Amino acid sequence: MDIQQFREFGKAAVDYIADYFETIRDRPVLPSVQPGYLGELLPREPPQSGESWQDVLQDVDRIIMPGLTHWHSPNFHAYYPTAHSFSCSRWRNDECRIRIHDLVQVASPAYTELEVAMMNWLGKLLHLPDEFLNCSEGPGGGVIQGSASEVTFVELTEADIKGKLVAYSSDQSNSSVEKAGLLGSMPMRLLPSDKQGRLTAATLIEAIEKDKSQGLIPCYVVANLGTTPTCAFDDLSELGPVCNRENIWLHVDAAYAGTAFVCPEYRHLMKGVEYSDSFNFNPHKWMLVNFDCSAMWVKDAKYLVEAFNVERIYLKDNHKGLAPEYRHWQISLGRRFRALKLWFVLRIYGVEGIQKHVRHQISLAQYFEKLVKSDKRFQLCTSSMGLVCFRLKGEGQPYTSTP
């Protein structure tokens, strides 16, 4: 593909995406294909000769589209909202095309410096404690990871992975929390939640004391601000002092609901966040940033650096200490320019635009809640933020709806 073909392909791809979103409301949300359908439509061997981009684009519509579930459809009400905006999509394309790798700071300074600035912007937008910000001149700071699953595992540092250590979270936590314990070779106790779906201090203290009596060492707690099943909020002002007193690392998972903290009226739900050692939310879930973009802050980055620091002569440069070396804050060495799409969303929408988006989504959920309550066939189970859980009265399984 030469430059001229690339121009034509790029324009056609943009038109295709625009046409897709114009017609998405009329598309069936769920695919009607049977498992294995793609194997019947594709050759069993790769093509010997290259094909035209026109043929490939036609096959996207003919072969790929029929097998997709359309998460962006206004008729999709499962799991969580998949953030999307045209301002982000445009620069997501450029992120993919400008493939400069960020191995070390000198390799592409803009990668690191824009990410530092964006994590400061984002932290201030949520009103996180200053200790978490890169601009605080302390040991803390923020970094963009791929997902909350990565973040939860990254916080289990190398020094923690010992035979007697044990971690805790609510039985309402995302599956990635339990998986982090498996990957980190550490038992992850999923403690029972109360009737509101929250992990209480009393339950946590009981588990800690029991494990300590058996010679185990409690070291890690994952608190939830917006659980996956019902969007329940653990009380950090209760859990935090327990963790601090016991010298336990407290990580806050606000993957979905964290975006709501851009609105002052919801920040009371993060009361006690100053007790935490790390905090995470996913702009790619509710904040109009396309997947993947998971924001993580730590009060003291030295623990990450100590866990992931592997130096080689080819990674040395003369800028050590002048900017965060993000390769030490994550599992992989290379990283994408995720901060670029975050920058454009924050600039184009602004704080007011993002607040308007969140409030509108919550108002839709509240309206839907009223509809459920007014219909005698249904029973409302829980309603929090944009998540409404309801069920048919009598025998049946609960349904969830996320506007």
What mean pLDDT value characterizes the chain? 79
Please tell me the pTM assigned to this model: 0.72
Asked: is 3-76 a CATH 1.20.1340.10 domain? The reply is yes
* Burial tier of 108 (Cβ tally within 10 Å: 0-12, 13-18, 19+): middle
Residues 19-36: what's their mean pLDDT? 83
pLDDT per residue as tens digits for the range 168-223: 999 998 887 877 776 667 888 999 999 999 999 999 999 999 999 998 999 899 99
Cα atoms found within 13 Å of the Cα of residue 171, Cβ hemisphere only: 8
Q: Which CATH number fits domain 94-346: 3.40.50.2000, 3.40.50.300, 3.30.365.10, 3.40.640.10?
A: 3.40.640.10
pLDDT per residue as tens digits for the range 118-172: 788 889 889 999 988 877 777 888 877 765 556 565 555 544 446 788 999 999 9
pLDDT per residue as tens digits for the range 238-275: 999 999 999 999 999 999 999 999 999 999 999 999 99
Domains of the chain by residue range: 3-76, 94-346
pLDDT-wise least confident of 37-46, 212-221, 375-384: 37-46
Residues 277-285: what's their mean pLDDT? 91
Could you give the C-alpha distances from 202 to 112, 165, 233, 248, 255, in angstroms and in order?
Answer: 42, 20, 16, 16, 25
* Burial tier of 232 (Cβ tally within 10 Å: 0-12, 13-18, 19+): buried
Phi, psi of 313 (to 5 degrees): -60, -35
The dihedral sign for the CA sequence 160, 166, 172, 175: positive
Q: Residue 107 in 3-state DSSP?
A: helix
Per cent of the chain over pLDDT 90 is 33
pLDDT per residue as tens digits for the range 324-337: 666 666 666 566 66
User: Do 94-346 and 3-76 have the same topology in CATH?
Assistant: no
Residues 101-111: what's their mean pLDDT? 45
